[in-house]
Amino acid sequence: MDLKRFLSLALCALFLFSMVGCTESAHVNRRDLGNGWEIESSMPLQYATQFSVDYYAGGYKLICLSDNSRFLIVPEDAEAPAGIDKDITILHQPIQNIYLVATSAMCLFDALDALDAISLSGTKAENWYSENARSAMENGKILYAGKYSEPDYELILSSGCELAIESTMISHAPEVKEKLLDLGISVLIDQSSYEKHPLGRTEWIKFYAALLNKESNAEALFVDQVGFLNEAAAQENTGKTVAFFYISTSGYAVARKSGDYVTKMIELAGGNYIFSDLGDPETATSMVTLEMEKFYATAKDADFIIYNSTISGELKNLDELIAKNELLRDFKAVQNGNVWCTNQNLFQETTQLGRMILDINRMLVQDDPTVTRLNFLYKLQ
Amino acid sequence: MESIEIKRRARIWIVFIALLAAFFILVSLNVMLGSVQSSISDTLSALFGRGGDMADILWKIRLPRMLACVLLGGALALSGFLLQTFFNNPIAGPYVLGISSGAKLTVALVMVLVLGAHKSVGSVVLIGAAFVGAMISMGFVLLISQIIRRSAMLIVSGVMLGYIFSAITDFIITFADDASIVNLHNWSRGSFSGISWDNVRVMAVVVIVTSCLVFLLSKPIGAFQLGESYAKSVGVNVGAFRVALVLLSSVLSACVTAFAGPISFVGIAVPHIVKALLKTSRPLLVIPVCFLGGAIFCLGCDLIARTLFAPLELSISSVTAVFGAPVVITALLKKRARS
Amino acid sequence: MDYFFSTKQLTVGYNGTPLIRDIEIRLQKGRILTLIGPNGAGKSTILMSITRQLKSIAGTIYIGDRSIEEMTNRDLSHHLSVVLTERLRTELMTCEEIVETGRYPYTGMLGILSAADKAAVREAMKLVNVADLKDRDFMCISDGQRQRVLLARAICQQPEILVLDEPTSYLDIRYELELLDILRDMAEERGITIILSLHNLSLAQRVSDDVMCVKGETISHYGSAEEIFQRNLIHELYGLTDGSYNPVFGSVEMKRPPGTPHVFVIAGGGTGIEAYRTLQKKRIPFITGVLHENDIDYQVAHDIASCVISEHGFCPITDSSYQQALEKLHTCDTVVNCLVEYGEINARNRELFEQARLLGCKVVENVATL
């Protein structure tokens, strides 16, 4: 009897696992409205692959995301068209009272000067890098609505919110998404973290611009960043190697996966990421925990170290770095004084990625020892 | 001696009525209080009259959450009572047989394998995974109980199973990204947030049916209060009873773990409180009052958890621990003093 | 003759290892069977196997002509109830509630007691004199009271067979007697068959109809109380070397003081017992006479005196006995006369005492001074 129960339980488990929604990653498809309307034009995208925007007659825009979600932006005072596909979510302009959880989107909103479209935030005031965001929260223009996994539904509902912009973390807490939908709030999941190219992330400014009807601002900003990138890319590969990591509280070295956008930034800046084959390109994780020996063997000879301070805080000097792990003393970059540290808010600066690449390039290229502070990096001494 | 009998009956009635009153008060408080304020008349009209935001808040957010507290709180208390009686151990609780570790394991598996590969799942999958994990854990315990016939050893094997599952979960986590780890950690803190009416429907069926079955087991539970040997001598089928007990208490705690994550201390503390109030351990009385007590306990703790530092929610387990741990410690001290 | 309770080739033990083999019990209805034997011999093992708390290794147990193997726990509970030796730890249960669990086989699905059930509980509690404890918490009464409550519980289960494992081990003498008395009543008046194990031999002798001696791998003896309670048998069963057992009263004496006796005790009619015991405690060997064989002093002297000069019961002391006593008197230097009055048949003890004085023996009034 027990064997039978066991088998039936195992079968149940298998069945449940197979019941998972199969979503293909990376590419956007099904860009058709379903009611026979013809696309007038599409937003040109240089680097972004995780979204698409198609324009229809009458000011309608269809936004498709790589997680197969689709949103139709309906102009103010216009009606939603008949006969469109059922899975398309309708959003009426002007889009306001947004509940913003995706932290990387905040600076995009800030750059677009569209902070007043946001009324609720999933991050507390003091944790925002953007000054404007922080003061908006302190002034009560934007309210804190609880963590992404346990939002204050009552507050969200009573504030008249219609759209929640979540990060991919929400996929681990599906009941929150379901609850929000149940309350009549549309949920949009920011897919920019899956962009392979760093400027692909920056290009998401055009995505939010489409939501907010600020396409022209976006274009200008983006062109700037492309300019910085080109400036960096114009130079040759310096041949120098860079290690980008942090030491976790349990003493492990955590580095970025090879091929992830940070490592791409390093490549574009003319450097070479020291770990050539780290991590599984198929999975969505971006960080890889390294066992000390492997880390030591590979990273010891890196010409430069950029310490990732976004997780556990900025370091003040080299001693603090070495205090995290004695072995670092032997690293070539440490001995040559080529250790740099990121500003803690690096990942919130999505609009400046082009500039960041230029910064990395400057770090690699310049040999003036008095330069210890760049826009986004500073030297550890 | 009649007066003693009268006093006892009176006590039981008083306790019961007082608990009912507390129950209704807490239900009302849970419906009326939240991060959005509204007057009593507004609340009442929103509940029964027109729609609007307040009605949505009440019907879609507060009511399902309140019902979840009642059902799951009662389930936890019953589960704890069953295990404490059977093992004659005052700190036995719903998770002593390793159920929550099994559930955490399957949830971790889903999070790491499925979500880690950039797929998305509905909450049904996570709920189902937790339930399946709990049941698999229970299956192991039942298997072991066929081999090890002594009840005391069952607790030990349950605890060992819990450790084994935790070790496997830790192993799985090494391959997980930070998002999975954070979310698994969030899941294991337990929470009543985000309960939907669909959830409540399923919960109601499972919990109510199982609780009725537990009530029907009052007679053998009463015999078991004298220990396994005497229970056997009055005709209890000890083997079948053991299976039924493990099954019922596991289903109850699996249900809680699936929908709200592991919530500790309710199952351990509430039976002690109830028995101390009623001053009797007669199962026919203790079982329904335990259910009521568990509901009250969870309603109170959830109210505190979600309103004390709104919009931040406290972890429900930390609130239940603050109230529950002193109860357990007192019970242990009293038992030591007696022996 | 049809036996009510019997076992055929019953072998019992733990974990498949046989402890005692080939147990054959043949018990009639309404009889009391007591198991005696040294500690650890296996008495509890047998009782646990009979009640199915422990699985028997081989053989069959019959109630009437039904084997208990084919009965469910439920069936068996209608026929047999138990009082176990384990210490119970209950929580918040009154004595009445404990006794009520005995009605388990007769109550309905939720275990609610009917008026008849409640009456049975009351009656059982009255029978064992625990009626006034009914509302007290079980854990707050004395061991003796608890034992009686458990007996009440077993009684109100209305069994045909009652099995008790060392039921008197925690009881004072008063409660021991009371409990065994109740058991005898059950057997005589209600025809309940009782099987129990006892340590106290004299009580076992008084309460049992049949006795089973458990020692070693098999049952060494099985029979009626009269057959079993014999001096040699008991001595062999318990390996008595430093003491003796008197089956007449079921009493025991400590061992005989060794050495050559120099004290002569004149006694009779029960007057000498105290002196004998005192001398025995002081390890002083002694001779005593002339005692009649139907005198109670004789029973004790027989076990602890170095030498007893005796005479046939009901007869006056003969010359030969007198002479024997006199001879022995010459070997002693101290004399104790316990007698205060003399009758026809022991008149010559007065002479004996005179002789002792004339011989120059030291006369001791109080043996304790020796």
Sign of the Cα torsion C83, C87, C91, C93 reads: positive
CA distance A333 to chain B (A): 28
Q: Mark yes or no for CB contact C101/B4 under 8 Å.
A: no
Instruction: Domain A34-225: give its CATH code.
Output: 3.40.50.1980
Residue C163: burial class (beta carbons within 10 Å; 0-12, 13-18, 19+): buried
Q: Is B219 on the interface with C (CB under 8 A)?
A: yes
Q: Give how far A87 is from chain B: nearest CA, Å.
A: 16
**B277 neighbors B15 (Cβ within 8 angstroms):** yes
* Structure-derived torsion over alpha carbons of residues B228, B234, B235, B236, reported in degrees to the nearest 10: -40
A289-322 tens-digit pLDDT: 787 778 888 888 888 888 888 777 788 888 888 8
Which domains are delineated in chain B?
68-338 (1.10.3470.10)
Q: How close, in Å, is residue B174 to chain A by CA atoms?
A: 8
Interface test with C, best of B226, B285, B286, B338 (most C CBs within 10 A): B226
Q: Which two tokens stand for residue B294?
A: 């568990």
Distance, in Å, from the CA atom of A80 to the CA atom of A378, rounded to the nearest integer, reads 51
CA of A194: which chain B residue's CA is closest?
Answer: B118
The CA distance from B256 to B68, in Å, is 9
Q: How far apart are CA A119 and CA A209, in angstroms?
A: 18
Summarised one tens digit per residue, pLDDT across range A221-232 is: 888 888 888 887
**Residue A21, pLDDT score:** 40
Q: What is the DSSP string of A98-117?
A: EEE--HHHHHHHHHTT-GGG
Domain with CATH 3.40.50.1980 in chain A: 34-225, 236-379
Phi and psi at C146, nearest 5°, equal -60, -40
> Do the Cβ atoms of A241 and A97 come closer than 8 Å?
no
State how far Cα A85 lies from the chain centre: 29
- For B188-227, the pLDDT digits (tens) are 888 888 888 989 999 999 999 999 999 999 999 999 899 8
Which strand (E) or helix (H) includes residue B269? helix B266-278
CB A183, CB A153: distance < 8 Å = yes
The token pair at B328 is 């357990």
**Could you tell me if A31 lies within 8 Å of chain B, comparing CB atoms?**
no
Element (H, E) at B91: none
DSSP designation for A250: T
From 3.40.50.2300, 3.40.50.1980, 3.40.50.620, 3.40.640.10, which CATH number describes the A236-379 domain? 3.40.50.1980
Contact C91 B279 (CB under 8 A): no
Nearest to B61 among A154, A173, A284 (CB): A154
Per-residue pLDDT of chain C (370 residues; tens, 9 = 90+): 578 899 999 999 988 899 999 899 999 999 999 999 888 888 999 999 999 999 899 999 999 888 998 998 889 999 999 999 888 888 889 999 999 999 999 998 888 999 999 999 999 999 888 999 999 999 999 888 898 999 999 999 999 999 999 998 878 888 888 889 999 999 999 899 999 999 888 889 999 999 999 987 888 899 999 888 888 888 888 888 888 888 888 888 888 999 999 999 999 999 999 999 999 999 999 999 899 999 999 999 999 999 999 999 999 999 999 999 999 999 999 999 999 999 989 899 999 999 999 988 899 888 888 8
CB atoms under 10 Å from CB of B309, counted, come to 10
Best probe of the B interface among A1, A3, A152, by most B CBs < 10 A, is A152
Q: Could you give the CA distance from residue B301 to residue C228 in angstroms, rounded to a whole number?
A: 70
DSSP string over C209-247? SEEEEEETTEEEEEEEHHHH--HHHHHHHHT--SSEEET
Contact C93, C137 (CB under 8 A): yes
3-state SS class at A262 = helix
In Å, how far is A275's CA from the nearest CA of chain B? 18
Q: How far apart are CA A380 and CA A342, in angstroms?
A: 10
A273 close to A267: Cβ distance less than 8 angstroms: yes
Strand order of the sheet with strand C218-224? C80-83, C161-165, C193-197, C32-36, C210-215, C218-224
Q: What is the dihedral of CA C278, C280, C282, C287, to 10 degrees?
A: 90
Is B96 within 8 Å of B155 (Cβ atoms)?
yes
Strands, E, within C4-51: which ranges?
Answer: 5-14, 17-27, 32-36
C81 contacts in chain B (CB < 8 Å) = 233-234
Residue C146, chain B, CB below 8 Å: the answer is no
Residue B65 to residue B59: CA distance in whole angstroms: 10
Terminal CA-to-CA distance of chain B, rounded, Å?
A: 28
Q: What is the dihedral of CA A297, A302, A304, A307, to 10 degrees?
A: -20
3-state secondary structure B120-144: ECCHHHHHHHHHHHHHHHHHHHHHH
Cβ of C91 within 8 Å of Cβ of B235? The answer is no
* Backbone φ, ψ for residue A342 (5° rounding): -80, 155
A-contacting chains (≥3 CB pairs under 8 Å): B
Contact exists between C and A (3 or more beta carbon pairs < 8 Å): no
Burial class (CB in 10 A: 0-12, 13-18, 19+), B86: buried
Average pLDDT over residues A250-269: 82
Beta strands at A377-379 and A272-273: parallel, antiparallel or unpaired: unpaired
Predicted local distance difference test score (pLDDT) of residue A22: 40
* Residue A18, pLDDT above cutoff 70: no
Cα separation, C107 vs C329, whole angstroms: 76
Judged against a pLDDT cut of 50, whether residue B180 lies above it is answered with yes
Beta-carbon separation of B121 and A153 below 8 A: no
Strand residues in C28-131 grouped as ranges (E): 32-36, 58-63, 66-67, 80-83
Q: How far is CA C282 from CA C251, C257, C275, C277, C367, in A?
A: 20, 8, 11, 9, 10
Q: What is the pLDDT of residues B30-67, one digit of tens each?
A: 988 887 777 877 777 777 776 666 788 888 888 999 99
Residue A55 CA to residue A38 CA, distance in Å, equals 9
Q: What is the DSSP letter of A346?
A: G
